[in-house]
């Protein structure tokens, strides 16, 4: 963040006592508590929806959320001299959730369930925050992209290590991708989608350990910028997937996380079915392959090849997990 970015703090009705640079932002000690100044990585059209969401959460008793702070004119996004746009958010002391401490992970899942209970807002036609594409449509698009990558690499006369690893794993991974689409076509997912329209369920959109700050008084939830109307189990899936990838899809841990969420919101048959399909889809493989396709293919980092190999071999760990936790056999 540039030095003159800090000067935008003068536009806020606060007294700043101290500032400290942290990862991509500025942590500010003010007369109204701890705050975080960061570049506004979103369109301004998103702001009314997010302001309403923050107000809704606070009225429901979820006080430890990183709500926006308005400037002296009532604006939530301010502009610096160089035209860079910034936003100021309330912040909290605490450390990120430790992905290797099971008690912290389980408390984060309990907190997610409690958050989802109150993340229900009346939905108006055309309201910002709506996510248009269904999961089935999203996976069908991903599958088309995987076929496109495979076709491109197949035509290459000289293949590097990344391309060779992709071709070795493609048939197996595309088989998983196709299976997920087949399961979705005959699943109860449409029921969950209609619940979004009927109830107005909102998801956090980026519920991961980086956005969860642990302290003695509980958990502060940050990073709501990608919140939107959707199937709330998407949050649970993403949180669990990122954790389980670091724990070799440990079945005991996965079972305990599911049980923690179930303590807050019952995971019925259709919800477990949805989660099973989400875990079955080779999302990491698709993401790495798609990034490769849209990148400068003249030089592919070794790290990308290692990530691809890991995504392929982790499917065996995932196969066992899906069979024993969800009775989904692949």
The predicted-structure confidence for 137-179, as pLDDT tens digits, reads as follows 999 999 999 999 999 999 999 899 999 999 999 999 999 999 9
Region class of 75: left (phi > 0), else alpha (psi between -120 and 50), else beta? beta
Position 300 scores a pLDDT of 86
Q: Domain check: are 107 and 85 in the same one?
A: no
Number of domains present in the structure of the chain: 2
List CB contacts of 292: < 8 A, sequence separation 6 or more: 149, 162, 166, 300, 304
Nearest to 288 by CA among 304, 300, 272, 302: 304
Position 67 scores a pLDDT of 97
Q: Domain check: are 114 and 251 in the same one?
A: yes
**CA–CA dist 188, 206 (Å, integer):** 24
Nearest to 196 by CA among 237, 228, 231: 231
Q: Domain check: are 166 and 76 in the same one?
A: no
Residue 34 inside a domain? The answer is yes
Q: Domain check: are 223 and 269 in the same one?
A: yes
pLDDT: which is higher, 106 or 190: 106
How many Cα atoms occupy the beta-carbon half-sphere of 292 within 13 Å? 29
**CA–CA dist 243, 237 (Å, integer):** 10
How far CA 186 is from CA of 137, 228, 274, in Å, comes to 14, 25, 11
DSSP state of 130: B
Average pLDDT over residues 199-224: 95
Q: Domain check: are 24 and 141 in the same one?
A: no
Average pLDDT over residues 310-315: 94
CATH number at residue 33: 3.30.200.20
**CA–CA dist 68, 35 (Å, integer):** 10
Does residue 3 carry a pLDDT above 80? no
Position 129 scores a pLDDT of 54
Does residue 188 carry a pLDDT above 70? no
List CB contacts of 260: < 8 A, sequence separation 6 or more: 106, 109, 110, 113
Q: Domain check: are 26 and 150 in the same one?
A: no
Q: What is the average pLDDT score of the chain?
A: 92
Q: Please check whether residue 277 is in contact with residue 183, taking contact to mean a CB–CB distance below 8 angstroms.
A: yes
**CA–CA dist 222, 56 (Å, integer):** 15
**CA–CA dist 8, 88 (Å, integer):** 10
DSSP state of 10: G
Average pLDDT over residues 46-73: 96
Residue 59 inside a domain? The answer is no
Position 197 scores a pLDDT of 82
Does residue 52 carry a pLDDT above 60? yes
Q: Domain check: are 317 and 237 in the same one?
A: yes
Residue ranges making up the domain that contains 36: 3-44+64-91
The model scores a pTM over 0.85: yes
The predicted-structure confidence for 238-268, as pLDDT tens digits, reads as follows 999 999 999 999 999 999 999 999 999 999 9
Q: Domain check: are 165 and 37 in the same one?
A: no
pLDDT band, residue 1 (cuts 50/70/90): very low
């Amino acid at each position: 963040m540039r030095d003159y970015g800090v000067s935008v703090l003068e536009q806020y009705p606060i007294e700043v006592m101290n500032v400290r640079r942290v990862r991509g932002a500025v942590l500010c000690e003010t007369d109204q508590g701890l705050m975080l100044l960061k570049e506004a990585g979103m369109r301004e059209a998103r702001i009314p929806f997010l302001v309403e969401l923050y107000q809704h959460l606070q009225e429901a008793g979820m006080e430890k959320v990183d709500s926006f702070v308005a400037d002296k004119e009532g604006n939530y996004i301010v502009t610096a001299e160089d035209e860079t746009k910034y936003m100021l958010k309330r912040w909290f002391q605490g450390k990120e959730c430790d992905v290797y401490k099971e008690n912290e992970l389980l408390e984060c899942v309990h907190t997610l369930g409690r958050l989802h209970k109150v993340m229900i807002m009346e939905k108006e036609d055309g309201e910002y925050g709506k996510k248009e594409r269904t999961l089935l449509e999203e996976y069908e698009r991903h599958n088309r992209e995987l076929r496109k990558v495979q076709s491109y690499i197949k035509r290459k006369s000289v293949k590097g290590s990344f391309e060779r690893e992709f071709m070795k794993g493609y048939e197996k991974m595309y088989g998983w991708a196709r299976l997920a689409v087949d399961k979705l076509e005959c699943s109860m997912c449409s029921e969950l989608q209609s619940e979004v329209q009927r109830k107005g369920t909102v998801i956090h959109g980026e519920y991961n350990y980086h956005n969860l700050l642990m302290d003695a008084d509980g958990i502060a939830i940050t990073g709501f910028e990608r919140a939107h109307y959707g199937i709330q189990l998407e949050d649970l899936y993403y949180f669990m997937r990122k954790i389980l990838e670091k724990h070799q899809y440990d079945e005991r841990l996965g079972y305990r996380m599911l049980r923690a969420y179930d303590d807050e919101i019952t995971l019925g048959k259709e919800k477990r079915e949805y989660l099973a399909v989400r875990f079955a889809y080779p999302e990491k493989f698709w993401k790495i392959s798609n990034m490769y396709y849209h990148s400068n293919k003249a030089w592919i980092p070794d790290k990308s090849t290692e990530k691809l190999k890991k995504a392929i071999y982790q499917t065996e760990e995932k196969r066992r997990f899906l069979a024993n936790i969800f009775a989904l056999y692949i």
